Amino acid sequence: MADAHAHDATHEDHDHKPHGWRRWVFATNHKDIGTMYLIFACTMFFVGGAMAMIIRLELFKPGMQFVDPQLFNSMTTMHALVMIFGAVMPAWTGLANWMIPMQVGAPDMALPRLNNFSFWILPFAFTLLLSSLFVPGGAPAGGWTMYPPLVLQNGASFPMLIFAVHMMGASSILGAINVVVTIMNLRAPGMALLRMPLFVWTWLITAYLLIAVMPVLAGAVTMLLTDHFFGTTFFTAAGGGDPVMFQHIFWFFGHPEVYIMILPAFGIVSEIIPTFSRKPLFGYEAMVYAVASIAFLSFIVWAHHMFTVGMPLAAQLFFMLSTMLIAVPTGVKVFNWTATMWKGSLSFEPPMLFALAFLFLFTIGGFSGLMLGIVPADYQYQDTYFVVAHFHYVLVPGAIFGIMAGVYYWLPKWTGKLYDQRLATWHFWLSAVFVNVLFFPQHFLGLAGMPRRIPDYAVQFTDWNMVSSIGGFGFGLAQLLFPYIIWKCVRSGAPAPARAWEGAHGLEWELPSPAPYHSWTEAPSDALIAKGASH
Amino acid sequence: MAAALLSAESQARRRRVRNSAILWALVAGAFYLGFIVLSLVRAAQ
């Protein structure tokens, strides 16, 4: 209670609810900023999705149909950048903004103005990046990995790409600092670390990863910039530099980045499965340690992305074995989720459906990752559609389904209204079927030798490409249901109770629905915190 | 007395928030510069 009053005394600046455009432009309320992040992420999801549709349209049959190779390569590059930095990461930050203060009993994020700044960097970054489609030479086309020397051959879009990546990185770092500082300093008295919901834990660890690796990406692209404009030769062989060094630095960022996109989904699934199993989470502490272990291991596996560049046998063995090791904590999580459901009173509302699909399909992505981690096998799979299938199984039914599960879980809390569960169930089944039609055949294409990042292919790959494209169009169309369901919920949903799901635990469910503009202005009592803990 | 205590507590928390934000910003800055310096050292070798 004392803490809550103290907070009021120090945050008079956002103690009232502003109206009109000022509410959003000058937003300091964590719920408003969370909403803006989520709307931005949803918009970028459809922009990146439109690019994916162009890719699948071109690949529907062999030969060049709709776009030239340069534009095709721009589409693959921009699709990745937009989906990773524009859709998935901002969606997680939006969910963090909405839920972390409510879940730890804090009145807001610790640094509200910084929070505003972190968000508003993003629209500028993506305007810059997307406007590169219209400059001479076209948008970046060398892949999202920005490998030199190819990336240095970009035209006018090169500095736009580098500046946009810097801005996205700065936004992520500032957002991560805010999350760490909020969790470490603004938890309600009695909210011990090992009482925190798993979503908060996974985000805390994600935030540490972000602080460690986003500056590494920024460093790498700064060096690209100086190589291009200031005559340095960090990555230029002609001047004594080493292009492979860029790959090492990039993947030192890139592999933890994969976990940045997936760990919060682990947290959400760990909230949803107990709720719809009506059982406490099995092995809460093991889950926390498993997430921490995965995060630690993510720093020592980066070179499995580049086995074929040539490296000593000892290094190959080290990175292969460390990659295999990640299966251990991941297995702990999968078995604990399964054990949570064991003999539970299960029901299959939309959040649970998405969480279960996550469990099955992310595991498929994990298994193909293990296959790719085996050095001699990787020499066969490298740069084929098998890799494309693998990481899309991790990121679409993994990260994207995790985000959708989270939105469907907390939407009644945010809006105070119930959504159309029948339509959301349709959204789930269409997504779950088409995501497999889209990506599963890509395993076959990869094993048969179809290279990735090409606009044309040999005729023997035609059939599975057609199937994959049909899956892509179906998946893309199914996603239009998502904003419609949310819009319908906001406009005409029936009122939601405070505890929208009968089996839900956690401080957020102790607040009324919709959550008040300023929640936990008085810190929750210890009894309430104990009641909210589902473990 | 209570108000003064609250104020002191609030002050202490503001200080904690500011210090930890600065600390993590410095950590991020160190990773940024560290990797550039690492590359320079390697290039010099």
C-alpha count within 13 angstroms, C-beta hemisphere, residue A206: 26
Answer whether residue A5 shows pLDDT above 50: no
Q: What are phi and psi of A139, to 5 degrees?
A: -70, 165
Q: Which is more confidently placed, A429 or B44?
A: A429
Chain B residues with CB inside 8 Å of A242's CB?
Answer: 42-43
Tokens linked to A43 = 């918009």
Helix axis angle for A401-415 and A89-104, nearest 10°, is 50
The pLDDT value recorded for residue A9 is 41
Q: What pLDDT, on the 0 to 100 scale, is given for residue A535?
A: 60
Mean pLDDT of A292-314: 96
**pLDDT for res B3:** 56
Residue A2, pLDDT above cutoff 50: no
Per-residue pLDDT reduced to its tens digit, A137-155: 999 999 999 999 999 988 8
The residue type of A84 is: I
Instruction: Select from B13, B34, B39 the Cβ nearest to the Cβ of A234.
Output: B39
Tokens of A341: 């459901």
- For the ranges A13-17, A91-95, A263-267, the lowest mean pLDDT is seen at A13-17
CA distance A293 to A336: 15
Closest by CA to A401, choosing from A353, A449, A329, is A353
Mean pLDDT of the A17-41 span: 94
Residues facing residue A384 across a β-bridge:
A451
Does A26 score more than 50 pLDDT?
yes
**Over residues B17-42, mean pLDDT:** 93
The candidate with the shortest Cα–Cα distance to A476, out of A17, A46, A160, is A46
pLDDT at A432 > cutoff 90: yes
Higher pLDDT: A239 or A251? It is A251
DSSP state of A384: B
- Among A58, A257, A271, A510, which one carries the catalytic annotation? A257
Write down the pLDDT at residue A174: 97
**B39 contacts A240? CB cut-off 8 A:** no
Q: Residue A384 — φ and ψ, nearest 5°?
A: -110, 175
Q: What is the ipTM of this complex?
A: 0.87
pLDDT category of residue B10 using cuts at 50, 70 and 90? confident
Tokens read off for B5: 């205590």
Give the pLDDT confidence score for residue B2 in this predicted structure: 53
Whole-number percent of chain A with pLDDT over 90: 91
B1 interfacial to chain A (CB closer than 8 Å): no
Instruction: Please give, rounded to a whole number of angstroms, the shortest distance from the CA of A290 to a CA of chain B.
Output: 24
- The pLDDT tens digits of the residues spanning A406-429 come to 999 999 999 999 999 999 999 999
The predicted structure's pLDDT at residue A6: 41
Average pLDDT over residues A317-346: 97
**Which residues in B lie closer than 8 A to residue A233 (C-beta atoms)?**
43
Catalytic residue status for A289: no
Q: How far is B8 from chain A (nearest CA, A)?
A: 9
Q: Does A390 participate in catalysis according to the annotation?
A: no
User: How far out from the chain centre does Cα A116 lie?
Assistant: 20
Write down the pTM of the prediction: 0.94
Contact A288, A201 (CB under 8 A): yes
Residue A231 backbone class (left: φ over 0; alpha: ψ -120 to 50; beta: rest)? left
Q: Report the 3 state secondary structure along A107-141.
A: CCCCCHHHHHHHHHHHHHHHHHHHHHHHCCCCCCC
DSSP string, A460-521: GGHHHHHHHHHHHHHHHHHTTHHHHHHHHHHHHPPBPPSSSSTT--SGGGGS-SSPPSS--S
Residues 6+ away with beta carbon under 8 Å from A219: A249, B31, B32, B33, B34, B35, B36, B39
Let me know: does A270 contact A198? Beta carbons within 8 Å: yes
Mean pLDDT of A505-523: 93
Query: A37 falls in which pLDDT band (50, 70, 90)?
Result: very high
Distances (CA, A) of B20 to B25, B26, B27: 8, 10, 10
Average pLDDT taken over every residue of chain A: 94
Q: Region B8-23: what's the mean pLDDT?
A: 92
Q: Do B24 and A211 touch (CB under 8 A)?
A: yes
Amino acid at A257: E
How far apart are alpha carbons B19 and A136 in whole angstroms?
46
Cα dist from B30 to A156, A166, A243, whole Å: 31, 16, 23
- For A185, which DSSP code? H
> Do residues B35 and A249 make contact, with C-beta atoms less than 8 angstroms apart?
yes
pLDDT the model gives residue A12: 42
Among B10, B18, B19, pick the best mutation site for testing chain A contact (most A Cβ within 10 A).
B10
CB A399 within 8 Å of CB A363: no
Among the listed residues A323, A330, A415, A468, the single catalytic one is A330
Looking at residue B42, its pLDDT comes to 79
Structure tokens at A249: 């630095």
Pick the closest to residue A469 from A460, A461, A480, A481 (CA basis): A461
Per-residue pLDDT of A154-188, as tens digits, reads 889 999 999 999 999 999 999 999 999 999 999 99
> What is the per-residue DSSP string for A266-282?
HHHHHHHHHHHHTSPPT
Residues contacting residue B18 through CB under 8 Å, at least 6 positions apart: none
Q: Which of A10, A115, A226 to mutate to test the interface with B (most CBs of B within 10 A)?
A: A10
The candidate with the shortest Cα–Cα distance to A348, out of A428, A265, A434, is A428
For residue A13, the model assigns a pLDDT of: 44
Q: For residue B40, is pLDDT > 90?
A: no
Whether the pLDDT of residue A464 is over 70: the answer is yes
List the 316-375 stretch of A: residues with Cβ below 8 A of B: none
The DSSP symbol for A59 reads T
Average pLDDT, chain B: 86
Averaged pLDDT, A6-22: 60
